[in-house]
Structure 1
Amino acid sequence: MTDPMPVIQSLMTGLPVFMLHLGTATAVWAVALALYMWITPHREFELIRGGNMAAAVSLGGAAIGLALPLAFCLAASINVWDVLIWGSVTLILQLIAFRAIDLLIGNLAKRIEDNELAAAVFLAMMKIALAALNAAAVAG
């Protein structure tokens, strides 16, 4: 059996950095998701609590779409400033893109409030597709 001490020492050294990066990324993601919910004209959580599947799909797509570029940024980060700066840039771009999609589809808030699943699925998939492009750009 090998000595576990080098692994334990590595864990003790790396754990604080891991926690700082993960905590920072999670905080940036939560702020971005809160901003997203603020700029949407409908109240997602109220609709979801009422059983509105379209709101759940749309908000879930936004959550994934915001997390993807941030995850790639986190994976490529050198320090916590990378996460804060580049993570914020990617999330701002995602929020702008999401708003543009909302405008492109037209009358989206009413469609989601009316539980129109087709509009919500399209919106969620577009959010995730744009997030993948954004994530690749930040990782490149």
Structure 2
Amino acid sequence: MHEYLSTLPNFLMYLGLSVVLLGVFMGLYLVITPQHELRLIHQGNISASVVLTGTLLGFALPVASAMAHSVALLDLALWGAVAGVVQLLTYLVLRLLIPDLRQQIETDRVSVAILLAGLTLCMGLLNAAAMT
């Protein structure tokens, strides 16, 4: 039992850093996007929830890959930053492709939200695979 618990400090450090990375990314994403996702979600807007969830999952996938393959916390932090940049760039490209994206989300167009969530998840999977 002692052998298993000997890695607990490393587990807690990696988990803690990944949660911090997720929080920082979510904060940046919420600042960068023109719509107010959390307010929309509190109002029952499904599209805002779907897009935000897809984006967070698209970020968490490469962070999980980085965590599994990193040799130090600094590796995880740097690859986490790369994952964040990729997801933010993905959002900016999608805004160019769908000029009325803000309106689509605010008017709760679920079809658009599902497409956006799917594309951000795809980028997250590709990003995670590229990190291995």
- What is aligned with 1:105? 98
What's the secondary structure of 2:16's corresponding residue? helix
Deviation at 1:102, TM superposition (A): 2.2
1:59-108 superposed Cα distances (whole Å, 9 cap, x missing partner) = 11111111111111011111111111111112212211122112212210
Q: Does the 8 Å contact 1:54/1:117 carry over to 2?
A: yes
Gaps of 5+ in 1: 1-7
CA–CA distance in structure 1, aligned partners of residues 79 and 42 of structure 2: 34
Partner of 1:59: 52
Percent identity between the two aligned chains: 36
How far apart are the structure 1 equivalents of 2:99 and 2:114?
14
Q: TM-score, normalised by structure 1?
A: 0.90
Report deviation, 1:33.
Answer: 1.2
Task: Please report the RMSD computed on the Cα atoms of aligned residues, expressed in angstroms.
Answer: 1.0
Normalised by the length of structure 2, the TM-score is 0.95
Q: Tell me whether 1:30 sits opposite 2:23 in the alignment.
A: yes
Asked if 1:95 corresponds to 2:107, the answer is no
Structure 2, unaligned runs of 5 or more:
none
1:14 maps to which residue? 7
- Return the alpha-carbon distance in structure 2 between the equivalents of residues 99 and 42 of structure 1: 13
Bigger-Rg structure (1/2): 1
Q: Which runs of 4+ in 1 moved over 3 A?
A: none
